[in-house]
Amino acid sequence: MISALKGMKDIKDKDAFYYEKIVKICEEVAKNYGFSYINTPHLEFSKLFKRSVGESSDIVGKEMYEFIDKGQNEVSLRPEGTAGVVRAYIEAKFDKSSSLKRWFYHGSMFRYERPQKGRLREFHQFGVECFGEKSVYEDATLILMLVEIFNRLDINFNILLNSLGCVECLPQYRQKLIDFLDKDGFCDDCIRRKKLNPIRVLDCKNDNCQSLLVNMPIIRDNLCQNCKKEFELLQDILRQDNINFKLDDKLVRGLDYYSKSAFEFVSDEIGAKASIAGGGRYDRLIEYLGGKSGYGVGFAIGIERIIAILEQKEFEEKRNGIYLCALDEKYITKLLNIARILRKKHKVLLNYGPKKLAKHLANADNLNTEIFLCMGENEALQESLFYKNLNTKEEKMLKIYNLENSL
């Protein structure tokens, strides 16, 4: 037997039901907010991710599916969605005219991590990116979209919010932080981060590191006037919509091109607070990837996490579709014609094998169908079908010529 690769999983049955539901809701909301679909390749030049996600990050350092293809190109399976979409924006020269583009995407991402519960090597995200919009109203709008999506999915969440400052104020804060971190006791990862990426020390999971961070300088106290004003406006917009949020000093995104708004949606529906979506502004990424400087803001939702939350709740798929069958195989050709007509409007499961009525009924029940239609000798003589509604248990004979109207 050939099995799937470690850390890779088939999405089928109950998972597939939820996967489709999540993507459908996300798509609907995104379209209503003026976003359109973009589908970028799974495979890109490795340097795209090295430059955007950053060589110092664990993702690029340890977790990328990176290889040399037959043309000697260094390529990687995408570990996240934003870099490819930014590359597409620049490649189409939209950056030159500072075009406003709102795109959404969904699909597989790949990280060569140690597989563990809730962490796969191929996982799925839904994300949106908006380019060319400077206004903080757009940041607020993305948060409102996530609220709408999680409300429609009936998932409880908390919103964490922070501002990471801009090119004006972030370097000064960074220096204050470096001075503060100049003491012993931090873990090895943090010692490395202190040099490469000091802000990343703030979200270290190590308890000892966290205790050393008491009294640390806080980004929000060090914002320039403009960043402060925009961050206050963002909070006002959310308050006006009665959206609760919590300010989180340690919500950071370690890379230089992230700026201003950062937000995260967490849910405690699967045990400890788990991140279910995250996003923020990344105005400098376009420039970082070789484009003309512009504006960018986006978010991504982890689909597997959402599936896990929804699966804990009661799974009850409504009965749907038609089960069409016969007691004798000589009627199957006739049924095939009937199915062809019904399938223009209805989902039809045509059973080709003749069986006793009770067997067919049990089958239809197992397949969770709603309508049962069967042809036996009596029905064939009368150009009819035996009808049973498996929800209401109603039974009757239906004339074939008028079938479409009677269903």
Question: Which residues would be at the binding site for Zn ion (CB under 5 A)?
Answer: 165-166, 168-169, 187, 190, 204, 206, 209, 224, 227
Q: Nearer Cβ to Zn ion, position 15 or 203?
A: 203
Q: Which alpha helices (DSSP H) does 35-79 contain, by range? A: 46-49, 58-62
Closest approach of Zn ion to the CB of residue 235, in Å: 16
Q: Nearer Cβ to Zn ion, position 167 or 407?
A: 167
Q: Nearer Cβ to Zn ion, position 150 or 282?
A: 282
Q: Nearer Cβ to Zn ion, position 187 or 243?
A: 187
Closest approach of Zn ion to the CB of residue 299, in Å: 21
Q: Nearer Cβ to Zn ion, position 187 or 357?
A: 187
Cβ atoms 376, 360 nearer than 8 A: no
Of the candidates 111, 39, 40, 115, the one whose C-alpha atom is nearest the C-alpha of residue 76 is: 111
Q: Nearer Cβ to Zn ion, position 187 or 367?
A: 187
Of the candidates 25, 66, 16, 72, the one whose C-alpha atom is nearest the C-alpha of residue 46 is: 66
**Whole-angstrom distance, CA of residue 397 vs CA of residue 195:** 79
The backbone torsions φ and ψ at residue 330, rounded to the nearest 5 degrees and listed phi first, read -65, -10
Closest approach of Zn ion to the CB of residue 119, in Å: 20
Alpha-carbon dihedral angle through residues 84, 89, 95, 98, given to the nearest 10 degrees: -120
Q: Is 213 exposed, middle or buried, given 0-12, 13-18 or 19+ CB atoms closer than 10 A?
A: buried
Specify the amino acid at residue 267.
S
Closest approach of Zn ion to the CB of residue 198, in Å: 12
Closest approach of Zn ion to the CB of residue 178, in Å: 15
Closest approach of Zn ion to the CB of residue 232, in Å: 13
Cβ atoms 286, 100 nearer than 8 A: no
**Whole-angstrom distance, CA of residue 69 vs CA of residue 156:** 44
End-to-end CA gap in the chain: 45
Closest approach of Zn ion to the CB of residue 216, in Å: 13
Q: Nearer Cβ to Zn ion, position 48 or 204?
A: 204
